[in-house]
A = this chain, B = another copy of it.
Amino acid sequence: MSNVSGFAEERVNRRTMMKGAAGVTAAGAAIGIGARLNGGSVQASDLEDMVQSIAEERGLTPQDIKAALKTYMPSGVHDDYLLFASGGHSGQVLVIGVPSMRILKLIATFTPEPWQGFGFSDDTKAVLAEGAVDGKVLGYADTHHPGLSETEGEYDGEWLFINDKANARIAVIDLRDFETKQIVKNPHYISNHGGAFVTPNTEYIIDGCQYATPKSWGYAPLESYADEYRGAMTFWKFDRDAGRIDPAKSFSVELPPYWNDLADAGKGASMGWMFSNTFNTEMSYGTGGGDLPPVEVGASQRDMDYLTVINWQKAEEVVGAGKAEDVSGMPMIPMTVAVEEGLLYQVPEPKSPHGADVTPDGKYIVVSGKLDPHVTIYSFEKIQKAIADGKFEPDAYGVPVLDFESCVEAQVELGLGPLHTQFDDKGLAYTSLFLDSGIARWKLGGEGIDDGWKLIDMIPQQYNTGHICAAEGDTVTPNGKYLIGLNKWALDRFHPVGPLLPQNFQLIDISGDEMELLYDMPIGVGEPHYAQMIRSDRLKNIWDVYPETGWDPQKQAPSEVATQIGKERIERDGNNVTVYMTSIRSTIRPDFIDLKQGDNVTIHLTNVEMAMDATHGFAMPGQNIQLSIEPGETTSVSFVVDTAGTYPYYCTEFCSALHLEMMGYMLVAPA
C-alpha cells in the first residue's frame, strides 16, 4: 500500500491547479486515478484482500462497503452539494457537505455565538436588536425552514433566509461570507411556521402565521377568539441590491384565525400564486382553563382543513393601489378586500395537513395530511377553473372555499403520517412518513403519463422522519441523486450521550432502481426541521477573504473606521476613548490601553491580513467581549469600564507560532 502522504500531496497540487473549477466535477476530474486500481501499486488481487480483511475485522456488509465508498471524501476533495439545514431551537443554521455529511459550518443566525463574534461586536448586536420583541433582545430562535434565494425557480446561491417560529422573525444570510445580515420581526403576529419560502425570483419571502393571536399579539380574552384573533400571511419584499428585506415594501394578507403551516410558492404554470396548508380550522384554543378539549383533540375534529391559496401578484397590486390597512406600521390587506379582489381562496384538504409542495412544473400541489395515509394532489388548472366557474362557498369569514372534487387531481395512499414531499429529476416524488418511519417513493402523473400517481416503494428510516430533502428537490429542476431523511428520533443509532439525544440525518442514494441507505449522521447541535441541498458549483460568489483591507461586513463596503498599520491610535474626548487597532501575525497594536474607571470605550479593530484563513480573534477578559475578525475585516465593539483593574486582551484564534504572545494590557485606574 502506498504512503498516503504522497497521494495527498498530489491532490493538493492538482487542487491548486484546478482552483475555480466546479466543485461538482472536482472529485472525479481532479483525481482521475481510478485506473490505478489496475495499473498502480495495488493490484486487483491485493485490493480484494485488503477490502476483505478490513470488512472482516470491522464487520462490514457488502452494502456497507458500497456506502462507505460512495460517501468518503478524500483529503482536500470537496463535497458535491452543500446542505443548509435549520438548527431548530438552537436558533442557528448548519452547512453540511454532501455526500460526506460533514458539518462545514454552523452559521450564527439568531443566537449569539462567540467563535464568530456574533452578538458580541457592535454591528452584530445591532442585528440582534433589530429582531427584538416587545423591546426585548432575544438570545434564541426556533429556526425551521431555510429558503435559498432563487432565480427563475432555481437556486442562485446568493442568499439564504430562515424563519424563527417562536417569535415570528426572518433572518437574512449573505452567501458571500456566510454571515447573518438582518433579522426582521413580523409586526403582525408572534408565531410563524410557513417561512421562509421564496417566490421564483426571490421577489418575496413568504412567512405564514402559525398560532393565531389578536393582530400584533395584543390582548384579547380567548372567548373572543373567533372575533378578535386572526391569522395572516406575510410577503417580505427582498431588495437584492441592498441585500436586505425591505419592510416598507412588504405586506400581509389577513386570514381567519386558523393556523398556517407549511407553504410553497407557485412556479411555472402557477407563477404568481402561493399555497399554504392551514389546520385548526376548528379554531380550538385548548381548554381555556375550563372544560373544552385540549388542542390536540380540539384541532383534530374536522375531516377537512384547508389549503390556503393566495395570488400574491394580485395582492401586490392591491397594496400598490392603497387598499391595505396599516397595522403596526406595515400594510395588511383586510380579508374582505382580499376576497373582493379575488386573491384569496381555500380548498378543503384532509385533516391536520403538513406540507404543501408544488411540483417542479408548477402544475400540481401535493398536500400531506398527518392523520390521513394519503397525499392529495391538487391541480392548479382545476383550481383556476373552479374559481372561474364560481364553484365555491364562503366560510364563516367570507373566504371562498372551493369545491374539493373540482380541484383534486389524485390521491395516493402512501402510509401513516405523511408530512412532506420532495421531487427528483425522473418525475418521482418522495414523501416522509412520520408514523411509519420511512420515505415513500411514488410516481407523479398528469398529461401523457398513464401509470402516474402511484406508489413505487418505501425505504425505512430510523426513526420518525419529519422533513426530507432531495438535491434541489423543491426547485424547477430537481437534481435527483441524493435524498436525506431528517429523522426526529435517534434512539440506539449512536453512542449514548446522555438523555438529550442527537437527531439523525439519513442519506439515501436515489440514483438507482432501489433507494439505498448510505450514511447515518448524528446532529448533536440542534434540531433541524427542514434543509435545502444545493449543487456546490452554484455557489459562485463565496469570498475567501474580504474584498479589501478595512472591510465592513455589515455594509459590505469599505469601513469608515478601518485602521492601517502605523495609523493605530487612541483618541480621548473627555471620558470617551476610541481605539483604532490592527491585528497581524503576531501583534495587536496598540498593545497598551490606559483607562480610567468609568471611561466609555470603543475599539475599531482591523485585521490587516489578506491571506486566506488568517483570521484573528479578540477577547477582553471580564467584559464579555469576543470578536472574530476575518482577513480584511474591520469590526467595532463598545463598552464601559466600570471596574478598576488589569485586563490582558489577546488573539483567540491560534494564528501563528507566537500566537500566545499576540496580546496587550488594558489598565483601568480607579476613579
CA distance A5 to B516 in the complex (A): 8
Query: Which residues 287-311 of A sit at the B interface, judged by CB distance below 8 A?
Result: 287-289, 294-296, 299-300
B residues in contact with A359, CB < 8 Å: none
CA distance A47 to B514 in the complex (A): 18
A-B contact pairs, 15 of them (CB 8 A): A1-B62, A12-B462, A31-B60, A97-B494, A104-B522, A105-B524, A133-B622, A168-B621, A190-B648, A211-B663, A289-B594, A295-B587, A490-B613, A491-B612, A499-B545
CA distance A270 to B64 in the complex (A): 47
B residues in contact with A142, CB < 8 Å: 619, 626, 652
**Proximity string of chain A (470-495) to chain B, C-beta cutoff 8 Å, 1 when within and 0 when not:** 00000000000000000011111111
Among A23, A51, A543, max chain B CB count under 10 A is at A51
Among A12, A168, A500, max chain B CB count under 10 A is at A500
Stretch at the interface among A318-326, A383-391, A629-637: A629-637
**Proximity string of chain A (46-60) to chain B, C-beta cutoff 8 Å, 1 when within and 0 when not:** 111011101111111
Tell whether, in the assembled complex, residue A90 and residue B71 are in contact, meaning their CB atoms are under 8 Å apart.
no
Which residue of B113, B167, B462, B669 contacts A90 across the interface (Cβ within 8 Å)? Answer: B113
B residues in contact with A539, CB < 8 Å: 496
B residues in contact with A31, CB < 8 Å: 59-61
Tell whether, in the assembled complex, residue A5 and residue B70 are in contact, meaning their CB atoms are under 8 Å apart.
no
Which residue of B7, B51, B529, B661 contacts A47 across the interface (Cβ within 8 Å)? Answer: B51
B residues in contact with A329, CB < 8 Å: none
Say whether, besides A54-B69, A111-B113, A114-B111, A494 and B658 are in contact (CB < 8 Å): no
Stretch at the interface among A173-181, A237-245, A396-404, A448-456: A173-181
Tell whether, in the assembled complex, residue B63 and residue A219 are in contact, meaning their CB atoms are under 8 Å apart.
no
Tell whether, in the assembled complex, residue B190 and residue A647 are in contact, meaning their CB atoms are under 8 Å apart.
yes
Stretch at the interface among A35-43, A148-156, A197-205, A598-606: A35-43
Query: Shortest distance in angstroms between A408's beta carbon and chain B's nearest beta carbon?
Result: 23
3 closest cross-chain pairs (CB), A and B: A34-B56, A31-B59, A114-B140
Tell whether, in the assembled complex, residue A497 and residue B542 are in contact, meaning their CB atoms are under 8 Å apart.
yes
Tell me whether A129 is interfacial, beta carbon within 8 Å. no
Say whether, besides A72-B71, A179-B498, A542-B497, A138 and B490 are in contact (CB < 8 Å): no
Tell whether, in the assembled complex, residue A54 and residue B74 are in contact, meaning their CB atoms are under 8 Å apart.
no
Tell me whether A73 is interfacial, beta carbon within 8 Å. yes
Tell whether, in the assembled complex, residue A69 and residue B75 are in contact, meaning their CB atoms are under 8 Å apart.
no
Tell me whether A660 is interfacial, beta carbon within 8 Å. yes
Query: Which residues 624-671 of A sit at the B interface, judged by CB distance below 8 A?
Result: 624, 626, 628, 630-633, 642-648, 650, 652-655, 657-658, 660-665, 667-670
Say whether, besides A69-B60, A520-B75, A546 and B261 are in contact (CB < 8 Å): no
Tell me whether A339 is interfacial, beta carbon within 8 Å. no
B residues in contact with A222, CB < 8 Å: 592, 665, 667
Tell whether, in the assembled complex, residue B50 and residue A65 are in contact, meaning their CB atoms are under 8 Å apart.
yes
**Proximity string of chain A (128-139) to chain B, C-beta cutoff 8 Å, 1 when within and 0 when not:** 000001111111
Among A50, A168, A176, A543, max chain B CB count under 10 A is at A50
B residues in contact with A313, CB < 8 Å: none
Tell whether, in the assembled complex, residue B591 and residue A9 are in contact, meaning their CB atoms are under 8 Å apart.
no
